[in-house]
Structure 1
Amino acid sequence: MKKYLLTSIKLTAVLLVLLAVLYPLFLSAVGKLARGKGNGETVSINGKVVGYANIGQKFTQDKYFWSRPSAVNYDAAGSGGSNKATSNPEYLKTVQDRIDTFLVHNPEIRKEDIPAELVTASGSGLDPDLSPAGAKVQVKRIAATRHISEDKLNNLIDEQTVKPLLGVFGPAKVNVLKLNVTLDEMK
């Protein structure tokens, strides 16, 4: 019995050092080699950090591309979805309210042309990206508000679109924060 107890204490001590000290240090070192040095990818304007590229942010002004809705009000401290089924009356009302709001601000768009991502929250509630279609459906509103040609805005979206990895893995996507920062920098 003593033999097994001593062995298990030694094994616990070794695993504690390995998994609670060495492994986190290793991951921290690898993170320091990544973009953002392990602190996330920040987006800056004139040297001032305006947000993190990997966390969705709320944009509601007509002069900006709107982000995907968030079930957690874009609070990165508590990410999560609504966990409501698509048949839940409260969920359906929320989605309908989002559709109605979108149509008020984009009257030239038909309801069936609104991409689902603009009226439904992601599982994390913090999705920073839209599909190119989700961005392009907003072009008319932004062009009218900013007095910029639709062609310029469509080209901007195309420039900001990140293609799937190796052309196969994942969808094409546009980071909304980076897109809006670039939009503000346009003359």
Structure 2
Amino acid sequence: MKTIIITVRTSILLMVLILVYQLAVTGIAQAAMPHKANGSLIYDGKKLIGSELIGQSFTSPRYFQGRVSSIDYNAASSGTPNYAPSNPDMLKRVQDSITQWKANNPDVPLRQLPIDLISNSGSGLDPDISPASARAQIPRISSLTGIPAEQLEQLVKEHTAGRDLGLFGEEHVNVLKLNIALSKLPANKH
């Protein structure tokens, strides 16, 4: 009986400590960095557009496209199949991506196709692409919108983020933020 009482007391004490810890961490995060603590959400007025941390599908060719998602950008279950480069399913998906790229971007030679536009990330929800991937899409977007390529180049440059702490990762462009800025530019064609 004594063992049961000690076990129950210890369990209750640990549950209370865990609850206090979670509340403390949440409170500190809300005070120190509320935007990040709440999911880095982006709003247009009061309308939620998305999160800058989770990739989204942009189906219109008038917008910049992100990386391939093997989970259809479903944030409820991130992940991706861990196929080897020789896997037939992987080869077919990559070939389909290349075929789609050629159809949507006939003015861009295949040798200028950045690898991150035909490969998916580990989570399948990567919100960023390389600056080269953004620049490779400029001819298509300029042709469809009438926005001069030079203006789109400047937009990509403005939305290119550097390495974290100047050391980690690579330069990257957040596709959602870039497309929001693109949608605010006056298009010459409709």
TM-score of the pair, normalised by structure 1: 0.90
Give the corresponding residue for 1:23.
21
Q: Distance in 2 between matches of 1:91 and 1:64?
A: 26
Name the Cα RMSD after superposition.
1.8
Against the structure 1 CA distance between its residues 35 and 149, is the aligned structure 2 distance closer, same or farther, given a 3 Å change threshold? farther
Give the corresponding residue for 1:96.
95
Q: Distance in 1 between matches of 2:17 and 2:141?
A: 54
Which letter does structure 1 place at the counterpart of 2:75?
A
Give the corresponding residue for 2:48.
49
Q: Distance in 2 between matches of 1:17 and 1:26?
A: 12
Matched, 1:164 2:163: yes
Matched, 1:40 2:39: yes
Deviations 1:108-140 (A, max 9, x none): 222232111111111111100111111111011
Question: Following TM superposition, by how much is the alpha carbon of 1:8 offset from its aligned partner in structure 2, in angstroms?
Answer: 4.8
Which letter does structure 2 place at the counterpart of 1:79?
S
Q: Distance in 2 between matches of 1:88 and 1:165?
A: 34
Give the corresponding residue for 2:124.
125
Q: Distance in 1 between matches of 2:171 and 2:36?
A: 25
Which letter does structure 2 place at the counterpart of 1:25?
L
Matched, 1:140 2:122: no
Contact 1:45 1:181 in 2 (8 A): no
TM-score of the pair, normalised by structure 2: 0.89
Between the two proteins, the alignment pairs up a number of residues equal to 185
Matched, 1:115 2:137: no
Question: Following TM superposition, by how much is the alpha carbon of 1:37 offset from its aligned partner in structure 2, in angstroms?
Answer: 6.3
Which letter does structure 2 place at the counterpart of 1:80?
G
Unaligned runs of 5+ in 1: none
After the TM superposition, which of the residue ranges 6-15 and 144-153 deviates more from structure 2?
Answer: 6-15
After the TM superposition, which of the residue ranges 157-166 and 174-183 deviates more from structure 2?
Answer: 157-166
Give the corresponding residue for 2:184.
185
